[in-house]
Amino acid sequence: MSEESVMGGKCCLLTTGELMPGDVIATDPDGPWLVVVRTAPATETKTRLQLRPLTGGPDLERVLPRYERQVVRTSRQDPAALPQPVRHDAERRRRVVITGLGAVSPLGGDVPQLWQGLLDGRCGVSVVSGPKFDGLPVRLAARAAIEPAELFPKPVARRMNRSTQFAVLAAREAWRDAGLDVSGTVSSGLRPSRTGVSIGTIIGGAPVLVESRLTLNERGPRAVSPYTTPMIVPSASAARISTDLDIRGEARTVVSACASGTEAIGQAIDAIRAGRVDLVVAGGTEAVITPEILAAFAALRAVSKRNDQPADASRPFDARRDGFVLGEGAGVLVLEEEEHARARGARVYCEAAGWGLSADAFHMAAPEPQGRGVEAALRAALADAGATPADVAHINAHATATVEGDRTEARALSRLFGRHIRDIPVTANKGALGHLQGGAGGVEAIATVLTLRDGLIPPTVGCDDPEEGLGLDVVRSTPRPLPPCGDIVLSNSFGFGGHNAVLAFRRM
């Protein structure tokens, strides 16, 4: 066995996924040694570790870092003794597919408007006005294209915060798109106890608390709404969707900064694979365009201050980027066990093939500069999907348009994919949408799924002059066809505090 054959990826893989003690995951007929390459074949790193003969039963969990994807080659003198392929439940576990999409965004009140706006390269950023925003150093935001309260009866709207209104509207669209009856689970032929909800958000209805404080100060305690408490909890959106659609299985709320929506979808994948539910309504929502939040982000120097150039303010990967633009909205998907979906005749968009999580453990707001945590989440998502870097056809980047955040993501991608990153088209939706915070992961996952459906990658609005040295092939100006090679597309979300989450979708 030569180093060239190993680095060329010619080993015979017998498994993918997380290694467990004693696992043998690939074979090589040329010798009795276990040889480990600590990165996937597509990378340029050539770190190799030779261990003792297999007869000693090496403890792989002790020798190999569990968070890294491994390519392992091994053999024994007797070829008949070679192990048979094993996949750590990848072949036995329930396959999860996407059957419905729903969104409220700065580009429109539904998915078709969102998708067409992204393909057209439209920008949903504008200047916010009114006495509340006067005097703020930042007056830019990407407001939702609709006023959600107008789409509910007034008594119903008064019992939901703005974020929950977005979430319910997106969930209803996704539910209908999945071919289900908006009356709920029973009318749709579903078992309520086998159906779940998983919604990510950062602060939920916290703006309601601010409004209640103003009401208390100006009009006294009797004027404070009795619905304040149930409206401010982050779980309000998941609870309301559960009630709206008669969903009685899991009702999960995920709060992990800007990775919340993506992690909520990942948690839904796990719930279906584990057999706890058959179908989950999952995604993210947020409504935080308030003077208090804008002032706080301005103090943090995280947002763009191009108040006189709203259409040019959000510039992912661009050399002149100066921060993100706050947005609002919701993105919700219906995830379903494949056999369950096929049995009811549902249209399938793609497979929700896997996901990965990691933590930077570095800083309360800044990303770890080298992107090690980001890389770990990317590797975990690929391993969970039973894929390698060579399988990736496209990446929907987190790319908020902060200087260091975009650089960190680019470094992580370059380290994982090596020189091949230049062959993978990358797009970033936040140039068009702003940063939807907890809602970003859901909306961007929808864009990634539609890229698979239509074979088109939307352009990155605002990236007129990519920063030199990032080394990425950023899709700009016009949509680009999805490359025919590779069946995996990735959607990235990274949040304050070092929360990193990545989704892997596979074309079918």
Give the catalytic positions in this structure: 258, 398, 435
Distance (Å, whole) CA 437 – CA 166: 13
Q: Which amino acid does the sequence have at 114? A: L
Distance (Å, whole) CA 297 – CA 310: 17
Length of the chain: 508
Give the contacts of 432 (CB within 8 A, at least 6 positions apart): 106, 107, 117, 118, 121, 122, 123, 124, 314, 458, 461
Nearest partner of 477 among 404, 412, 411, 425, judged by Cα: 425
Q: Are 207 and 162 in contact (CB under 8 A)?
A: yes
Distance (Å, whole) CA 493 – CA 413: 13
| DSSP at 219 | H
Distance (Å, whole) CA 48 – CA 507: 33
Give me the phi and psi of 486, to 5 degrees please.
85, 140
Alpha helix (H) residue ranges in 158-307: 162-177, 206-219, 228-232, 236-245, 260-273, 291-299
Nearest partner of 140 among 157, 152, 125, 151, judged by Cα: 125
Distance (Å, whole) CA 332 – CA 313: 27
Q: What is the DSSP string of 54-117?
A: GGG---HHHHS-TTS--EEE---SSGGGPPPP--TTTTTSPPEEEEEEEEEBTTBSSHHHHHHH
From its phi and psi, is residue 17 left (phi > 0), alpha (psi between -120 and 50) or beta? left
